[in-house]
């Protein structure tokens, strides 16, 4: 049946009009306002405004996803990671103990409400989950917990145990990520050393002021005999690299032990210094089952710095290695197993902040470009955690993973200074014209920036740089190439 305009007018006017439609239409019209009001009432009931960090506490900021009331999830995590037990009247019997050692909820916020969790939600027996929570929407946001300093004092292992020991398999949340640790200067001064050298100290060792530093991990990463390893290091230094280091995959193996490798490398370093008139540094990798022995060997044979993978061997080794009086390089091996998932684990910039607190003079990290990548947001924040703010000397951010001269504009734009280091492997040791040419290409790339010249045009008169750029299509990377991607 065809409905005419007269039919519509008939049914919406006169005695036949269905007046019951009017409140429905009004409700539909005002539904966005009503829903917004309802959401605000809901958020006010489950959120907690930010509060000041109590004295003698360390604050931990988490992002979370939960299908229970967010405040209850925050309380649940706080209880599990401090003094509380669930049920049984324990809190009433031990009130004084809980006041001294229980974590406190400082803030709960909701950013998003979803119908389904992003990761499978754990289930467990009561009293963690209660039937009254069934049917709650899945909510995402941030909460902040304050942990009493007395629970871990200056022990970094127990600090991390309190903050990330078990929340990631807690039944209260389907996702959780530690975003930041906030502490007073007084606590930091009591508990951490900070970098012994930092940016200015390493620049003083090299007498390099107004450009980035270039570091080459000898390639191939593993398999070189001591003499071949030293020869590769010498070529890199002669070409213009400031620092040569062991790759993180090279420890103290039988085919290239530290005791045989280091004397040859130090001889090569001395020759390179004499021939170039520039200071050079060698950094030995000391991670392994006997870090102390490796570090003593490295220092005894003349290593200029020590590199360690704290995620693999324990964060307590960073401050221990500062006692050897050499710059300490913190390698990122293993860290992205905790950080690459956007809403689960530990935020990578926080690892950089912790490395600086614990004494790392150089913090190695991925970047927005190359074979090891992370987002521009993460890289900017990680760089800030190394260089800005805080009680301690700035650490060098060192960008690794297939870096070339073509990346220099991007890093200079991001850091807004020359206080960064590039870890260059393949572009250095696999340059078509040889290792020395690979090192010269890096220095030529920086020269073009210092002269405010177009790097590709500048390369026409510099064959080493031209060959390096030709391998990637004569392209130069800028920060906006990744921010707009």
pLDDT of residue 130: 45
pLDDT classification of 64: cutoffs 50, 70, 90: very high
Give tens-digit pLDDT for 15-24: 555 666 667 6
Whole-number mean pLDDT of the chain? 87
Class of domain 198-483 (CATH, top level): alpha beta
CB-based contacts of 392, cutoff 8 Å, min separation 6: 188, 192, 193, 194, 195, 198, 356, 357
Instruction: Determine if the peptide bond prior to 127 is cis (ω within 30°).
Output: yes
Phi, psi of 143 (to 5 degrees): -135, 155
Q: Which helix (DSSP H) or strand (DSSP E) does residue 176 occupy? A: strand 175-182
Name which residue leads in pLDDT, 97 or 76: 76
Q: Is the pLDDT of residue 89 over 70?
A: no
Q: Domain spans of the chain?
A: 57-191, 198-483
What pLDDT sits at residue 137?
Answer: 72
pLDDT in tens, 347-373: 999 999 999 999 999 999 999 887 887
Helix, strand or coil, per DSSP, at residue 135: coil
Cα–Cα dist 306/339, whole Å = 25
pLDDT of the residue at 482: 75
| Residue 51: HSE in the Cβ half-sphere, 13 Å Cα cutoff | 15
Answer yes or no: is pLDDT of 86 > 90: no
Q: Is the pLDDT of residue 171 over 90?
A: no
pLDDT tens, residue by residue, 291-336: 999 999 999 999 999 999 999 999 999 999 999 999 999 999 999 9
What pLDDT, on a 0 to 100 scale, did the predictor assign at position 131?
39
Distance CA 348, CA 171 (A): 24
Q: How confident is the model at residue 38 (pLDDT cuts 50, 70, 90)?
A: low
Give the contacts of 390 (CB within 8 A, at least 6 positions apart). 188, 353, 356, 357
pLDDT per position as a tens digit, 375-407? 899 999 999 999 997 799 999 999 999 899 999
The pLDDT assigned to 97 comes to 82
The predicted structure's pLDDT at residue 128: 46
**CA 458 → CA 418, 451, 454, distances in Å?**
20, 10, 6
**What global pTM score does this model have?**
0.87
| pLDDT value, residue 4 | 41
Quote the pLDDT of residue 477: 83
CA distance 87 to 85: 6
pLDDT of residue 238: 98
Spatial CA neighbour of 443 closest among 425, 462, 461: 462
pLDDT above 80: residue 3: no
Select the more confidently predicted residue: 149 or 96. Answer: 149
pLDDT of 371 reads: 82
pLDDT of residue 365: 96
Over residues 145-156, mean pLDDT: 93
Residue with tokens 């930092």: 198
pLDDT of residue 35: 55
Burial, 42: exposed, middle or buried (Cβ in 10 Å; 0-12, 13-18, 19+)?
A: middle
Q: Cα(285)–Cα(414) distance, rounded to whole angstroms?
A: 29
Within the chain, how many helices (H) and strands (E) appear? 22, 13
pLDDT for the residue 33: 64
Span 118-146, pLDDT tens digits: 666 555 444 444 434 445 578 899 999 99
pLDDT tens-digit map of 412-456:
999 999 999 999 999 999 999 999 999 999 999 999 999 999 999
pLDDT at 6: 35
Model pLDDT, residue 59: 97
Where does the pLDDT of residue 25 fall: very low under 50, low under 70, confident under 90, or very high at 90 and above?
A: low
Per-residue confidence (pLDDT) for residue 100, from 0 to 100: 86
Options 3.30.70.150, 3.30.830.10, 3.40.50.360, 1.10.10.10; CATH of 57-191: 3.30.70.150
**Residue 45 reports pLDDT greater than 80:** no
Which residues fall within 8 angstroms of residue 291, CB to CB, at 6 or more apart?
308, 313, 317, 320, 321
% of the chain residues with pLDDT over 90: 68
Residue 464 has pLDDT above 60, yes or no: yes
Query: Sorting pLDDT into bands at 50, 70 and 90, what band is 36?
Result: low
Q: Identify the pLDDT of residue 389.
A: 78
Confidence category of residue 220, pLDDT binned at 50, 70, 90: very high
Confidence check: pLDDT of 469 > 70: yes
Q: What is the pLDDT of residues 241-252, one digit of tens each?
A: 999 999 999 999
pLDDT over 70 percentage in the chain? 83
pLDDT at 83: 82
pLDDT digits (tens, 9 = 90+) for 241-291: 999 999 999 999 999 999 999 999 999 999 999 999 999 999 999 999 999
């Amino acid at each position: 049946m065809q409905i005419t305009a007269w039919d519509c007018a008939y049914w919406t006017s006169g005695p036949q009009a269905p007046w019951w439609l009017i409140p429905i239409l009004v409700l539909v019209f005002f539904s966005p306002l009503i829903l917004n009001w309802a959401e605000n009432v809901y958020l006010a009931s489950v959120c907690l405004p930010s509060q000041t960090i109590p004295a003698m506490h360390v604050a931990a900021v988490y992002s979370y996803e939960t299908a229970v009331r967010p405040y209850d999830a925050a309380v649940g995590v706080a209880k599990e990671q401090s003094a509380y037990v669930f049920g049984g009247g324990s809190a009433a019997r031990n009130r004084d103990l809980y006041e001294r050692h229980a974590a406190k909820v400082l803030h709960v916020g909701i950013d998003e409400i979803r119908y389904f969790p992003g990761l499978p939600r754990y289930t467990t027996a009561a009293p963690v989950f209660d039937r009254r929570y069934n049917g709650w929407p899945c909510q995402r946001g941030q909460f902040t917990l304050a942990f009493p300093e007395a629970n871990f004092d200056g022990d970094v292992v127990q600090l991390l145990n309190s903050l990330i020991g078990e929340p990631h398999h807690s039944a209260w949340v389907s996702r959780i990520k530690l975003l930041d640790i906030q502490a007073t200067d007084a606590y930091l001064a009591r508990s951490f050393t900070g970098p012994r050298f930092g940016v200015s100290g390493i620049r003083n060792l090299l007498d390099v002021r107004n450009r980035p530093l270039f570091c080459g991990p000898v390639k191939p990463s593993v398999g070189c005999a001591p003499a071949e390893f030293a020869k590769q290091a010498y070529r890199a230094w002669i070409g213009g690299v400031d620092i040569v280091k062991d790759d993180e995959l090279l420890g103290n193996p039988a085919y290239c032990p530290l005791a045989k490798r280091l004397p040859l490398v130090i001889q090569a370093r001395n020759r390179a210094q004499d021939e170039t008139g520039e200071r050079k540094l060698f950094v030995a990798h000391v991670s392994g089952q006997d870090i102390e022995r490796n570090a003593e060997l490295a220092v005894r044979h003349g290593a200029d710095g020590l590199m360690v993978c704290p995620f693999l061997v324990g964060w307590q080794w960073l401050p221990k290695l500062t006692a050897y009086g050499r710059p300490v390089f913190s390698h990122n091996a293993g860290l992205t197993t905790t950080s690459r998932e956007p809403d689960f684990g530990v935020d990578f910039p926080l690892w950089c902040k912790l490395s600086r607190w614990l004494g790392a003079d150089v913090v190695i990290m991925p970047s927005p470009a190359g074979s090891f990548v992370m987002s521009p947001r993460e890289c900017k924040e990680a760089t800030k955690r190394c260089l800005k703010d805080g009680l301690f000397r700035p650490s060098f951010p060192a960008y690794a993973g297939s870096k070339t001269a073509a990346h220099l504009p991007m890093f200079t734009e991001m850091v807004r200074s020359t206080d960064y280091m590039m870890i260059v492997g393949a572009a250095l040791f696999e340059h078509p014209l040889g290792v020395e040419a690979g090192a010269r290409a890096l220095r030529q790339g920086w020269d073009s920036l210092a002269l405010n010249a177009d790097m590709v045009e500048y390369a026409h008169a510099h064959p080493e740089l031209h060959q390096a750029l030709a391998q990637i299509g004569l392209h130069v990377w800028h920060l906006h190439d990744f921010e707009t991607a």
